[in-house]
Amino acid sequence: MKYVMEAIRRKEAQEKLPVIRMEIDYELVTLHDALKANDNVEIIKAKERLEQLRLQLQKAAYE
């Protein structure tokens, strides 16, 4: 049973990777727009969100 649960967790993690990558792409576009507009608040928000997504991506990649 232990091996089945591990296999399920690995499969779920692999399925999350494309979604996280799409979210990163979107957030990079948001950051680009904020940089062009010189919007410091949005720049900080985008960077924080990118950091969260990076951590999620790392976690999903190593599960």
DSSP string, 16-33: HHHHHHHHHHHHHHHHHH
The confidence score (pLDDT) of residue 10 equals 77
pTM (two decimals): 0.80
pLDDT of residue 61: 78
C-alpha distance across the termini of the chain, in Å: 18
* Cα distances (Å, whole numbers) of residue 57 to 1, 14, 24, 53: 27, 10, 9, 6
Domain ranges, ordered by start, for the chain = 2-61
Residue 38: what are its φ and ψ, rounded to 5°? 60, 40
Least confident span in 18-22, 23-27, 51-55, 59-63: 59-63
pLDDT beyond 80 at 13: no
Task: List, in sequence order, the alpha helices (H) in the chain.
Answer: 2-37, 40-61
Predicted pLDDT of residue 14: 78
pLDDT at residue number 38: 97
